[in-house]
Structure 1
Amino acid sequence: MSLTHAEARERSALIAVQSYDVLFELDSGRTFRSRSEVTFACRQPGTSTFIELTNATAVTVTLNGERLPAQAYSDQRITLPALTAANTVVVEATLPYVNDGEGMHRFDDPADGATYICAFGGMDATQRIFACFNQPDLKATVHLAVRANTAWSVLANGAFESSASGLTTFSPTPPISPYLFTMCAGPWHSVRFEHAGISFGWHARASLGAQLDRDADELREVTTACFDHYTTIFDEPYAFGPYDQVMVPGLNWGAMESPGCITFRDELLFRGQATDAERGLRAEVIAHEMAHMWFGDLVTMRWWDDSWLSESFADYMGFQVSAAVTEFDAAWLRFSLGLKGFAYRADERRSTHPVAPDPGSVPDVDTAIGIFDSISYGKGNSALRQLVTWLGEDEFLAGVNAYLSQYRFGNASLDDLIDALDTASTRDVRGWAQSWLRTTGFDTLRVGRDGDVPVISREGDRQHRTRIAAYTIDNDRLREVSTESYEISQASLSLPQLAGLAVIPNSHDETFARVLLDPLSWGAVRQGLSTIEDKTVRAVVWSTAFDMVASSELTPTELLDLVAAHLPSESHASIVERVIDRLGGVLSSWIAPDALAQAHRQLASTFDSVLDRASDASILLAATRARVRSASTNDVGMLEDWLRSERTSHGVDVEADLRWRIVGRLAELGAIDEQRIGEEAQRDKSTQGEQGSARALAAQPTAEAKAVAWEALFGRSATDSNRTFEARAKGFWSAEHADLVAPYVGRYLDEAPSLATRSQGVAQQIGDAFPVHAATPETVKQVRTALAAEPPTVLRRIWEDRLDDLERSVRIRQVRR
């Protein structure tokens, strides 16, 4: 059962939770034992409430010394009757390990056979680990003990207390919400250090120990630089004791902000070469999760409608702080070309919602999972960036610090934050919040002309403070004439001082608004994009080009021509990589199957040009990966040569990641068979090898391979972990095999709903396996029919988004010029 907002409000009005005493006995089989002793007060003695526990067997419940009958546990809840003013409930149960990232996740490392067990909370998953009052506004201390293999080390939210005879205990945490709980057990490889009087640690699987040691200096430098910055700008000190960061297998999120023990998906510990953008992303995630120690952990939303108080702030801080204090200073550039574009798309779907939605629109936890999306992250981040631009950083931080201090270890809402910001500023912050945070959609800044004079027309009613750049063409190059900040608060802004010039509104991406250029300005940037000196403006123009395709202002073919003209001359590695990443979506969704071969040929030529001109290692690696993805049957010999020599023709080493990309492409082209893929898997007995082989096997262009892959994905005996499922699904739904997989589109829509009832995580994984390439009117009809059958809430939200995306893709594919 999904907890409703009404139930949560009723329960928080009734009880106050003081503490959890939790014991885990981590068995070597398929289950573990969990004991949870919870003390809580009741404001209305004699009434009843419930505590959550999911998928448990052998359950015993004792309330205030009295054993409750077995029927007290029903529908994943335990009824607690006849409460007194002070209560203690003890729940003991057997619970299953999972491999889907929702609960107590067990992972057996194929590299060395070692076992790792990690408690992944978040939303309503903690009740799959121990009995708890699972809502964000019922905070309590947690005192944890874990009985496990004596050869293992155990990490958790609390500070290490003692370890003897396989029992490890931790000091009680400060008050935290149940969704923030974590525990990680296994033979971790650890790197520890002291900083600012606090114990820090980075931890990874033993088989990734060499990679952790290789990156330890960089990880330490990023961690300490971000920590020093936060403790300088925030009045409240870091509140959660030791600061451990664990690279874990199987986490469904990019990372999780569990206080004192932050977990990251261990793909962020790169096995081989990594690009600057990948390392920059890792720094951004580290800064993002650290921001949560204040936004989300120290002060927590009361209900999930205010999840933006956690995620939008952490996302903004992640980019802002990593750009300011680490070597990865191109964070905002990557944001402009990445997450922000997805936020625009999300804000045009039927599922759009305000950054801070009304509580009534988030009636239960299953619905809440849907607002952890590009609006809460990308758009919320952009709104806060505009707020800081509008207010000034000093006033912004003054309000934020007042908010953090007032609600320390408590819960808060949008109104509470706005009160603090409003007090710190002479601006109308409340009006700003109503306009930016309580409404949907985005404004458009359209360039027009009154004769030679540029006129910026604002379609919408939000106030914007942003820079406008002006250029002239000088010897086939764009030369900047001016870049100035403007307040755009009226329907139009005339710029007579820029007469005759090309102009780019929002040139430094400080606001959230679509930009549409007039023919003069677009013609200039189309001619001279790669000659614009300011890299941020180049990134904004590239992002605008992709947005123009999404809004049918530009065709995919015209976009590929722009890429061919300017990407080979692009000097900034992150721009090259982000453009390449965005092109993947263009190929899978916006180009019809019968045009894919030509698109691949054009891109292959473009990437060859990039490689011929590049000297930067990150550009070489990104372009090599892209060249592999665009390879045709004519390139099979080249790819085989790279595998044999373990080096590309441009001097890039073919390490594990690149090798699996090559193997996967050869499989997709039908150039290698199951035996060859198996040989590669034997060569690389790692998680990457396991997932790479699953993807390659599913990518083979034969009916037999697709049938086997389908059974592994959706059959009765399917056992794939979350990561392997994701890899296999990507291989299965090849856009180039549209005819081959066409019969499975209907089967997917028919069979997915019953599988999606297992958990939120499973529903998301199945939803993410949607065949986005199948952008046809027939598929649109099929999805509408599937939605009419009322699939589970989490899956329904994903399918509604995919329906909108399919309809957009059909429109884009039909545009001809």
Structure 2
Amino acid sequence: MSLTLDEARARAAMLAEVSYDLALDVTAADTFRSRVAVRFTTTGGDTFLELHRAEALEVTLDGSTIIPGYDGSRIALAGLTPGPHEVVVDARLRYVTDGEGMHTFTDPVDGERYVGGYLGVDITQRLFACFDQLDLRAPITLTVTADPTWTVLSNGLPTYAENGQFGFATTQPIACDLFAVVAGPYHSVRWEHRGLAMGWHARRSLAAELDRDAAELRRVTEVCFDHYAEIFTEPFPFDSYDQVFVPELNWGAMECPGCVTFEESMLPRTRVTDDDRRQRAEVIAHEMSHMWFGDLVSPVWWEDVWLNESFADYMGFEVAETAAGFAGTRVSFEAAYKPRAYLADRRRSTHPVAPNAADVPDVDTGTTIFDEISYWKGNAVLRQLVTWLGEADFLAGVNAHLTKHRFDNATLEDLLSALDAASPRDVRGWARVWLRQSGHDTIRVTRRGDVPVLTRDGVRPHRFTVAAFSASLELVGTRLVDLADEPLALPEWAGLVVVPNAYGETFARIALDPVSAGAVSRGLADVPDPLVRAVLWTTMLDQVSPADHLDLLARQLPREPSPTLVAAALSRTLRMVRRMPASLEPVAAACALDAEPDEQRAVALARGLAWSTSDTALLRRWLDADATDQGWALDPELRWAVVRRLAELGGIDAAQIEAERLRDGTAGADLGALTALAARPTAEAKSAAWAAMTEDADVPVSRFRALADGLWSLSQRDLVAPYVAAYVTLAPSLAARGSAFAAAVGAAFPALPLTDEELSLVRDALRADVPTVLRRAWEDELDDRAA
């Protein structure tokens, strides 16, 4: 059952002074013991605790055993008298392989077992009985019984570890979805910084990779910590700071206070590119900023998820670029993230960055707004706010907000009050059009004779940099401008190429005039500044047909010097060809490798060639040499991309795929082999993949994703067509397993162009009862294919 807004408000009104004393025992193989003493005061009446699918349930209320109503989701607490109470819930729960609960994972490299509670929206109840809502913050005291040789980590500072018993200091009052526990034979790098215990941890089989990157991981952690200590007046709010690469996390990272978890792809096994390092630094900065935005101060309800994610995403990119020293982080945002926010803002599912509470009536709906709007549009909107307001006033208002609501919950209105007090500008007026309204403006370049004129289609005030270039795209000058209702003429740049929002300060589509668009189309790769090129790649690809998209790629990608922009353009192209009929041959031609001297650019092109080429002889040569024809080594990700494409083209059989899996020997290899086996161009391969996806009720999310990635092969339209209808029929029941699995089912939408009849199957299915997360994914797919 999804908790509703009305239920959450009623429960918050009757409860106070909540705390949890939790004991977990993870020594058994199939189930774990969860015993929690929940203490609280109440005004009296009926309420409930959430606990998902408990076995051997025992409940006491104020020391007396009771038999409460329990429906597999909620424990009823009826007729509570006013005053303090203690409910003790003792249960056994099953481990999961979908990341939603106590996740279990066995490392194929060495057979070691790892368990962890990687929580989030609606997941805490799968670990222990709780009041699973944001505004019932509570201190949590934890003890864990585990293998005595293991490392066990949680939100609080460890207090003891003896004979398989691990204890932790009581946390500050936190939202219970921020709880974390991680256990297993982890390899650790520990130190202190400014008196705070810190650590990085990874599976034992990834010890070499952690040691390889430890110095950089420590430096970035300390630089981010020092930067936040400088700009925030509230000190770091917690007693320790561990960061853990955990297996099979469902998202990039999770900001649990004192124990941040990261997806293991951020610890690459071999080649670590500049893009890898930038992305990792951005995520480290993002998650650390959550210690203030989301952990110190939390939203009241899920409509204000942007108060967590937009702020953290803005801070992540900003701090990685300016404080941690990873130049090009903003380039990656403009090229790889912001375009997806523009697309999301044109779908029927778009919503204001800050919706009203009534628009998020239950937690399931709240799950769906952890999306491109709350992260990437919100990031861009906050950058515009800082540009418009000024950094000093912005930080003054933010700091006042954090101090006033420390270890408490707060709303948009609370933040606006603090910003209004810190600035002479009309912050509430700004918020009405930027935060409370969905959609975005278009900034147009027109001409009065030769004079460029900027106009705005929309309702929002914009402050941004406009840049002027010669016909050969050499920079002539820049100017910071404000644009609102009145057109803005730029007579000093008559006859020149003009690019509004050249450095990405605002969130608006750009419509260039024919003079500017023609010059950019001819010479995009010649623009000297990669940030301006990122804005222009987005602008050009946002407004062209699939044929023109491929034409621009063919002309400009071979000359694009930035590996970041090469990778972003190819990723966007892959998404396009999976939805619309288009040939892969122009992509393969654009990615053709000659004597490329830049390894990272060569690798970005090789990744594009690996999914687009039909040259099996080339791919076979790469595999045999474990390198491209130019001598660049195949890292595991690239090697498995080659194997998958060879399988798709019929150039490698099951025995050879198994040999590749054994050669690699890691969890990533298991998934890569599943994808390759599913990609083979035979009816038997497709049938086996479909059965593995749908007939095993316990198929892990990671395996489901890997199988789906191989099933839908662009070059096998006729072979996979029968599975389109099967997918539409079975997806709703598969999605009922939980939000993470529902997201995976939605992402498994057939990744190939579909006929009108096939799309009608989806439209017809949406008229029936479809789980909320899956419904959102399907509607987004329909909108993107109609765009």
- Shorter-chain TM-score: what band? over 0.9
Q: Please report how far the alpha carbon of residue 648 of structure 1 lies from its aligned counterpart in structure 2 after TM superposition.
A: 1.7
Of residues 82-91 and 237-246 in structure 1, the stretch that sits farther from structure 2 once superposed is 82-91
**What is the percent sequence identity of the aligned residues?**
51
* Counterpart-to-counterpart distance in 1, 2:71 and 2:47: 13
**Counterpart residue number, 1:74:** 71
- The one of 106, 110, 113 equivalent to 2:111 is 113
The equivalences for 1:127-526 within 5 A come to 127-473=125-471, 477-526=472-521
Q: Which residue of 2 aligns with 1:786?
A: 765
How far the C-alpha of 1:603 sits from its partner, in A, is 2.0
Q: Deviations over 1:20-44 (max 9, x none)?
A: 11001113321111001011011x2
Over the residues paired in the alignment, what is the CA RMSD in angstroms?
Answer: 1.2
1:734 Cα deviation from its structure 2 partner: 1.3
Q: Please say if 1:725 is aligned against 2:723.
A: no
Give the alignment of 1:528-677 within 5 angstroms.
528-548=523-543, 554-590=544-580, 592=581, 595-596=582-583, 600-608=584-592, 611-612=593-594, 614-632=596-614, 635-677=615-657
* 3-state SS of paired residue (2:108): coil
d(CA) in 2 for partners of 1:350, 1:559: 24
Match of 1:693 in 2: 673
Q: 1:60-101 deviations in whole A, cap 9, x for unaligned?
A: 1111112111x4222411111232401111000110100001
SS at match of 1:72: coil
Specify the SS of the correspondent of 1:509: coil
Q: Residues 104 and 114 of structure 2 are in contact (CA less than 8 Å); yes or no, is this contact kept in structure 1?
A: yes
Aligned AA (1:799): W
Distance (Å, rounded) in 2 between the aligned partners of 1:602 and 1:275: 26
Q: CA deviation at 1:492?
A: 2.3
Q: CA deviation digits over 1:144-188, x for unaligned, max 9?
A: 000011121100001001011111010101111010001000000
Letter in structure 1 aligned against 2:531: T
Contact 1:274 1:618 in 2 (8 A): no
CA contact (8 A) 2:53 2:72 kept: no
Counterpart in the other structure of 1:804: 783
Aligned residue type for 1:529: L
- The CA distance in 1 between the partners of 2:321 and 2:514, in whole Å, is 34
Distance in structure 1 (CA, Å) of the matches to 2:217 and 2:724: 43
- Matched residue type, 1:748: Y
The answer to whether the 8 Å contact 1:33/1:94 transfers is: yes
Could you tell me how far apart the structure 2 residues matched to 1:385 and 1:699 are?
Answer: 42
In structure 2, distance between residues paired with 1:613 and 1:304 = 52
> In the alignment, is the contact (CA less than 8 A) between 1:271 and 1:657 conserved in 2?
no
**Separation in 1 of the partners of 2:351 and 2:421?**
27
The answer to whether the 8 A contact 2:591-2:605 is kept is: yes
Residue in structure 1 matching 2:690, options 679, 699, 710: 710
Give yes or no for contact 2:713–2:751 (8 Å, CA) kept in 1. no
Q: Which amino acid aligns with 2:625?
A: S
Partner amino acid for 1:601?
A: E
Code of the aligned partner of 1:794 = V
Per-residue deviation, 1:772: 3.6
Structure 2 spans left out of the alignment, 5+ residues: none
Instruction: Show the counterpart of 2:30.
Output: 30
The alpha carbon displacement at 1:612 in A equals 2.5
If the length of structure 2 is used for normalisation, what is the TM-score? 0.98
1:304-329 deviation digits (Å, cap 9, x = unpaired) = 00000000000000000000122322
For the Cα contact (< 8 Å) 2:4–2:363, is it kept in 1? yes
Question: Structure 1 CA distance, aligned partners of 2:192 and 2:216?
Answer: 15
Quick check: 2:473–2:497 contact (8 Å CA) kept in 1? no
- What SS does the corresponding residue of 1:296 show, helix, strand or coil? coil
- Report the CA distance between 1:561 and its aligned residue: 2.1
- The separation in 1 between residues aligned to 2:452 and 2:622, in whole angstroms, is 52
Q: Deviations over 1:350-391 (max 9, x none)?
A: 111000001001000001011100000011111100000001
**Whole-Å Cα distance in 1 between the matches of residues 664 and 357 of structure 2?**
49
> How does 1:38-49 map onto structure 2 within 5 Å?
38-42=38-42, 44-45=43-44, 47-49=45-47
CA-CA distance at 1:718 after TM superposition = 4.9
Distance in structure 1 (CA, Å) of the matches to 2:302 and 2:180: 20
Distance 1:321 1:406 in 2: 24
For 2:743, which of 751, 760, 764 is the aligned residue? 764
1:191 to 1:117, Cα distance in 2 relative to 1, 3 A: same
Query: Whole-Å Cα distance in 1 between the matches of residues 372 and 595 of structure 2?
Result: 35
Check whether the contact 1:780–1:806 (CA below 8 A) recurs between aligned residues: no
Q: Which moved more, 1:167-176 or 1:613-622?
A: 613-622
Q: Is the 8 A contact 1:275 1:622 kept in 2?
A: no
Deviation at 1:658, TM superposition (A): 2.0
**Quick one: which amino acid aligns to residue 709 of structure 1?**
A
Corresponding residue SS for 1:100: coil
How has the CA–CA distance of structure 1 residues 471 and 613 changed in structure 2, closer, same or farther, with 3 Å as cutoff? farther
Residue 719 of structure 1 and its aligned partner are, at CA, apart by 3.9
On the 8 A contact 1:257/1:292 being kept in 2, the answer is yes
Residue of 103, 110, 122 corresponding to 1:124: 122
Amino acid at match of 1:366: D
CA deviation after TM superposition for structure 1 residue 806, in Å = 2.2
Distance in 2 between residues matched to 1:264 and 1:95, nearest whole Å: 25
Distance 2:542 2:33 in 1: 52
Deviations 1:729-758 (A, max 9, x none): 111111221221111111111111112111
Shift of 1:491: 4.5
Residue identity opposite 1:519 in structure 2: P
Task: Compute the displacement of 1:578 (Å).
Answer: 1.6
- Contact kept, 8 Å, 2:99 with 2:250, in 1: the verdict is yes
SS in 2 for 1:176: coil
- Partner letter of residue 777 of structure 1? D
CA contact (8 A) 2:95 2:102 kept: yes
Secondary structure at 2:474's aligned position in 1? strand
User: Contact between 1:772 and 1:806, CA under 8 Å: does it hold in 2?
Assistant: no
**Contact kept? 2:455, 2:483, Cα under 8 Å:** no
- Tell me which amino acid in the other structure corresponds to 1:479: E
The separation in 2 between residues aligned to 1:642 and 1:252, in whole angstroms, is 32
Is the partner of 2:675 in helix, strand or coil?
Answer: helix
Q: 2:731 aligns with which of 748, 752, 756?
A: 752
The 8 Å contact of residues 240 and 260 in structure 1, kept in 2 or not, is answered as yes
Q: Does the 8 Å contact 1:277/1:577 carry over to 2?
A: no
Structure 1: give runs of 5+ residues left out of the alignment.
549-553, 809-817
Give, in whole Å, the separation in 2 of the partners of 1:109 and 1:78: 36
* Matched residue SS, 1:74: coil
Matched residues, number: 786
What are the superposed Cα offsets for residues 401-442 of structure 1, whole Å, 9 maximum, x if unpaired?
Answer: 000000000000000000000000000001001110000100
Post-superposition shift, 1:613? 5.3
For 1:752-790, what per-residue CA distance to the aligned partner results, in whole angstroms no more than 9, with x for missing partners?
Answer: 111211111111111111114233322221111010012
Residue pair 1:711, 1:718 contacting (<8 A) in 2 also: no
For residue 573 of structure 1, report the CA deviation from its aligned partner. 2.3
* Deviation by residue 1:561-616 (Cα, 9 ceiling, x = unmatched): 222222222222222222222222122123x1xx42xxx222222212xx335322
Cα deviation digits, residues 434-463 of structure 1 (max 9, x gap): 110000100011111222222222110100
